[in-house]
Structure 1
Amino acid sequence: MAGLELRELECFLVLSEELHFGRTGERLYVSQSRVSQLLSSLERRVGGRLVHRTSRRVALTPLGERFVQRLRPAYGGLREAVDDARAAARGVEGALRIGFQGTADAGLTAAVRAFRSAHPECVTDVVEIPLADPFGAVRGGAVDAAVVLLPVEEPDLVLGPVFSKRPQTVAVGRDHPFASLAKVTAAEVAAAPLVTAAPPAPAYWRAAHAPSAVPGPAVTTLQEGLTQVAAGRAAMLLCRPTAAYHRREDVVFVPVEGVPESALGLVWHRDGETAAVREFARTLAGRGVSLGDAPVVA
């Protein structure tokens, strides 16, 4: 541990994500040559090559892969300890913006009120994010964290508390063949056109919420999706609480058997984790908030 430089470790962790010296320098606000210097210094301390670099690609060596797996949680724990000490010394302050998809109901707002009560010096806002862009607001810094529908497979994002595992329904227009049924199966849903989220929602995320081989209309908001359903263009999967909240005369909600339950999670960017974000995550987890009652599209 003698002479250990945290900047070298931080540089290596960012490089292991970017696998590009230029982008690593941009994230750390240093030159590309400085990235090379920090890496070389760390490799001398370790006593082996951590990164293999050619004119075309950058890759971790087996030693680098092993090192980053051990280093990341340890470094994260160190950052958390420092941030928590700062927060304890001065209290959580500043601003915290929480994004949500669909509608923020009493469950989410109760968690926000609890957080505000515990940390009155932190200005907390709740803002809606597009259905079709679940991760963009977090990446762009428009929000500090967001309650989004799972799955989340983004390497640059941290998935915090996961909650609200709820059964799904399929929303259909009153003239749809499903409208007269007491329930439908996953196979029947997969054979019908389903409303899907438009890009930039990742393909895996869109497929999870529209598991059909039949193309349906792509929408950017929940209300657009329900309008397409009411017009008879396609069906749409929704979690049961969302269906209950958005009942309307021209749409029928039918239970679906055999599809995975809907679930929500709080996500934030690895580079944007703060004491306020962690405290809000603890508030959600500690209160056991059931966001299944929140009308968030599933």
Structure 2
Amino acid sequence: MLERAEVEVLLTLAKELHFGRTAEQMRLTTGQVSRIVKRLERRIGADLFVRTSRAVALTPIGASLVGELTPHVAGIDNAVRRAIEAARGISGMLRAGFLGAAAGQLLLKAVARMGARYPDCEIHIHEAQVHDAYERVFGGTVDVLITALPVHGVRVGPVLLSEPQLLAVPLDHPLVGQAEVTREVLADHPVVQMPDTLPEETRLYRIPATTPSGRPVPLGPKADTFPEILALVATGKGVFPVGEHAARFYPRPDIVYLPMPDAPPVRWAPVWLAANETALVRAFADCAVEAAAPAPPRQEHVADPGNTRARPR
């Protein structure tokens, strides 16, 4: 069995790939880190790191060990944290925001679970718009926001939902009638633009500057909210890539949603400022993950005439 200190040294060194920085983080000397690693290698019977005068790198065995240990260590840490929080009690006010209908559904499920688990918490729900969603996070008016990724400069929780992209086009658009489209069609039609207040990486993930073949994507008019985006699409001002949920939550007689299978998925997750991370925020993220998990399949049972116990069908 590995001691916790040995595991922490191993994982820290695997991340830093530098004995000095690892020693500093672990509050050890470089010699102590080196001795711990050598002790681990003797116990395992193989080198875990390749050391040269210029670099440190994981061996294949070391990389495999680190890859298998990491989620287990995280699980132990999370279990201990939840036990501490349960013992101390989690209370206070949490300002939770969401961007879009899919995020709203995820948030409501998380809030319901939070209310059942932490009755002393007070949760205020805020609907964000495309133009102000991240300003609310960076400005501190919401503590946590469920939104589409990617977002940099914040802590990103686990992905709660990953969905395919569709292309929203007006009812009379030339593409209507096709079973699916590719990202190449973005070069042939103006694309409604999201506001500049969104991080650039977020905008480019959804609306690339060029198609996969390198053709430029023409810029359409800008919109500040999702209803404005759909209004511009419906009036023929441009097309717009959306998550699959839009076809369910925003059905319109003047818009058609076409599958775009070569586009990357739209991923939704809770995000928050590192400086604002609290036990309450972490508890909300945990509840959101649990609430977003698919329900286990219901197991049916049939009576067994030869046995008084039921057995699965």
TM range (shorter): 0.5 to 0.7
Aligned partners of 1:187, 1:94: CA distance in 2, in Å? 49
Aligned partners of 1:209, 1:216: CA distance in 2, in Å? 14
* Matched residue, 1:207: 204
* Matched residue, 1:191: 188
Aligned partners of 1:147, 1:171: CA distance in 2, in Å? 23
* Matched residue, 1:99: 97
Q: 1:86 Cα shift?
A: 6.8
Query: Cα 1:169–1:267, aligned 2, differ >3 Å: closer, same or farther?
Result: same
2:245 counterpart SS class: helix
Q: 1:112 Cα shift?
A: 1.0
Instruction: Map 1:7-156; keep pairs closer than 5 Å.
Output: 87-103=85-101, 104-154=103-153
Aligned partners of 1:268, 1:145: CA distance in 2, in Å? 5
Q: 1:108 Cα shift?
A: 2.9
1:223 counterpart SS class: helix
Contact 2:186–2:218 under 8 Å retained in 1:
no
Aligned partners of 1:175, 1:224: CA distance in 2, in Å? 19
Residue type at the aligned position of 1:176: H
Contact 2:161–2:267 under 8 Å retained in 1:
yes
1:265 counterpart SS class: strand
Instruction: Map 1:188-267; keep pairs closer than 5 Å.
Output: 188-212=185-209, 213-267=217-271
| Aligned-pair Cα RMSD in Å | 3.0
Residue type at the aligned position of 1:260: P
2:133 counterpart SS class: coil
Q: 1:279 Cα shift?
A: 0.6
1:96 counterpart SS class: strand
Q: 1:252 Cα shift?
A: 0.9
Stretches of structure 1 that go unaligned for 5 or more consecutive residues are 1-41, 48-79, 291-298
Contact 2:170–2:235 under 8 Å retained in 1:
yes
Using the aligned pairs only, state the percent identity. Answer: 34
Query: Does 2:162 match 1:165?
Result: yes
Aligned partners of 1:244, 1:125: CA distance in 2, in Å? 26
The TM-score with structure 2 as length reference comes to: 0.63
Query: Cα 1:81–1:250, aligned 2, differ >3 Å: closer, same or farther?
Result: closer
Q: 1:201 Cα shift?
A: 0.8
Aligned partners of 1:206, 1:190: CA distance in 2, in Å? 16
Aligned partners of 1:220, 1:183: CA distance in 2, in Å? 28
* Matched residue, 1:276: 280
* Matched residue, 1:20: none
Task: Count residues with an aligned counterpart.
Answer: 220
Contact 1:192–1:214 under 8 Å retained in 2:
yes
Aligned partners of 2:261, 2:86: CA distance in 1, in Å? 48
Aligned partners of 1:277, 1:46: CA distance in 2, in Å? 32
Stretches of structure 2 that go unaligned for 5 or more consecutive residues are 1-23, 30-77, 210-216, 295-313
Aligned partners of 1:266, 1:243: CA distance in 2, in Å? 23
Q: 1:81 Cα shift?
A: 11
Query: Cα 1:96–1:178, aligned 2, differ >3 Å: closer, same or farther?
Result: same
Q: 1:85 Cα shift?
A: 7.7
2:219 counterpart SS class: coil
Residue type at the aligned position of 2:152: E
Q: 1:272 Cα shift?
A: 0.2
